[in-house]
């Protein structure tokens, strides 16, 4: 459930009319609902009850520092994949001791910074990375907390670009090699084994792949016990899907209950989850203006002022995301449109064959845009990125200014005369 609803046929974000926000801040704009973010985070956090757990919000899904700050105030942990994300978490007031650091390419500098601030755990993705972490920690006279990201070879039944737990994927250490790598880690002086993690993919709409992965990790955990390796936590990654349209993903409560049932014999084991999309996707919309309507023999096009530069998911994954009118009170004729952006690429569309009642100048909103929208945006075709606004009850706050044209080349330089 989210807090984007119609009141008197006007789209509202919590208690604020979307049109009022746009009158002040213009289009295109991402609008987030704080109450929705908090509701989704609590759905995960409350589901664990007394069982030791840590919800590590996946920063990549939305890394605006205001949003991270909302998470930090709830006491959330964070899943990061770069020093940039770590610095954002710190700037937002997040606690480094609740950060888990995933990602296949951690550099020397990134590892050093994470050790300096004292993160919860490195989610190690290869033998080479393990050796590097041990080396960097040695240089700093520290002991690095580590978990091995195990690739359980489970099919997540999701889009191939966002599936990560198969042997052919670059992520983690295969389940068959992991025991050896753990044994090796045990011999290293500057790492401390604290956990095991996996992340099998994103936008999962069924429980079974998560449970299959958990089973494989439990088998490995038991083998490690025989090697004298006891884990403090098990991190099952993110990946729980959201309803973009007719999908019916399990609720976090259902997911968590199924996990806890499997882990009944491990009451002391801390469970970490790294949800991103399930917290942010339906807590955000992308509002855009219809610049032109155009027709040919084949199609009606609604040409809007945002596209793949601000929201690349339809272009990249052929993702279906709902598109709705902001004001449904004005009477307009309904028609079926391809909603397309200003970018000079055929893949620049927000949605195809959508029935909409719109005229030029109207506002429309793309739903479920809070995850992997702003974070994946670019300035392609030299279009300044969208403004971002957070609604909080009857208030709204600008949390990212619309970039200026000069911002587009701020870091660039002319050649000498």
Q: Which residues are marked as active site? A: 344
What token pair was written down for 7?
Answer: 């009141």
CB of 394 to ligand LLP, least distance (A): 30
CA distance 230 to 224: 7
* Contacts of ligand LLP in 97-156 (CB under 6 A): 102
Q: Which is nearer to ligand LLP, 117 or 162 (CB)?
A: 162
Any known ligand binding at 354? no
Peptide bond into 28 cis (omega under 30): yes
Write the interaction track for ligand LLP spanning residues 206-235; mark x where CB under 6 A is met and - where it is not. ------------------------------
Say whether residue 40 binds ligand LLP (CB under 6 A): no
Say whether residue 259 binds ligand LLP (CB under 6 A): no
* Contacts of ligand LLP in 146-165 (CB under 6 A): 162
Q: Residues 234, 270: contact at Cβ < 8 Å? A: yes
CB of 123 to ligand LLP, least distance (A): 7
Out of 79, 85, 110, 348, name the contact with ligand LLP by CB under 6 A.
79
CA distance 251 to 277: 13
The secondary structure of 223-250, three-state, reads: HHHHCCCCCCEEECCCCECCCCCCCCCC
CB of 201 to ligand LLP, least distance (A): 7
- Cβ count within 10 A of residue 393: 12
Tell me whether residue 157 is exposed, middle or buried, using C-beta atoms within 10 angstroms of its C-beta: 0 to 12, 13 to 18, 19 or more.
middle
Any known ligand binding at 320? no
Out of 237, 252, 314, 351, name the contact with ligand LLP by CB under 6 A.
237
The distance from CA 382 to its chain's CA centroid, rounded to whole angstroms, is 25
**Residues near 169 by Cβ (< 8 Å), separated by ≥ 6?**
151, 163
Numbered residues of the known binding site for pyridoxal 5'-phosphate: 239, 274-277, 372
Numbered residues of the known binding site: 239, 274-277, 313, 317, 345, 372
Chain residues that interact with ligand LLP, rule: CB under 6 A:
58, 60-61, 79, 102, 162, 199, 202-203, 237-240, 274-278, 313, 317, 371-372
């Amino acid at each position: 459930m989210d807090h984007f609803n119609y009141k008197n046929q006007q789209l509202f974000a919590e208690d604020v009319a979307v049109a009022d926000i746009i009158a002040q801040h213009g289009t295109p704009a991402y609008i987030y609902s704080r109450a929705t973010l908090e509701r989704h985070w609590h759905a995960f956090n409350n589901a664990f009850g007394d069982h030791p757990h840590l919800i590590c919000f996946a920063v990549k899904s939305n890394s605006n520092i205001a949003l991270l700050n909302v998470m930090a105030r709830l006491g959330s942990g964070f899943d990061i994949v770069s020093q940039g994300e770590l610095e954002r978490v710190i700037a937002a007031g997040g606690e480094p001791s609740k950060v888990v650091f995933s990602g296949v390419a951690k550099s020397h500098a990134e590892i050093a910074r994470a050790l300096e601030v004292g993160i919860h755990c490195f989610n190690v993705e290869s033998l080479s990375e393990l050796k590097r972490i041990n080396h960097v920690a040695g240089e700093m006279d520290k002991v690095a907390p580590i978990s091995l990201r195990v690739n359980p070879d489970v099919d997540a039944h999701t889009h191939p670009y966002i599936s990560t737990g198969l042997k052919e994927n670059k992520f983690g250490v295969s389940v068959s090699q992991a025991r050896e790598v753990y044994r090796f880690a045990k011999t290293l002086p500057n790492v401390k084994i604290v956990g095991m993690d996996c992340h099998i993919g994103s936008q999962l709409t069924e429980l079974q792949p998560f449970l299959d992965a958990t089973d494989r990790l439990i088998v490995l955990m038991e083998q490690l016990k025989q090697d004298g390796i006891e884990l403090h936590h098990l991190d099952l990654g993110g990946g729980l899907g959201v309803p973009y349209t007719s999908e019916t993903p399990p609720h976090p409560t259902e997911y968590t209950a199924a996990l806890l049932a499997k882990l009944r014999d491990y009451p002391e084991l801390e469970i970490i989850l790294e949800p991103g999309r399930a917290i942010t996707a339906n807590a955000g919309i992308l509002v855009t203006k219809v610049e032109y309507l155009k027709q040919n023999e084949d199609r009606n096009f609604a040409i809007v002022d945002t596209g793949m530069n601000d929201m690349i998911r339809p272009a990249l994954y052929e993702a279906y995301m709902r598109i709705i009118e902001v004001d449904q009170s004005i009477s307009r004729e309904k028609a079926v449109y391809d909603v397309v952006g200003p970018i000079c690429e055929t893949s620049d569309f927000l949605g195809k064959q959508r029935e909409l009642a719109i005229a030029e100048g109207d506002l429309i909103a793309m739903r479920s845009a809070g995850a992997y929208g702003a974070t994946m945006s670019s300035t392609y075709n030299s279009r300044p990125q969208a403004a971002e606004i957070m609604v909080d009850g009857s208030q709204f706050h600008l949390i990212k200014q619309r970039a200026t044209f000069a911002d587009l080349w701020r870091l660039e330089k002319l050649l000498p005369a």
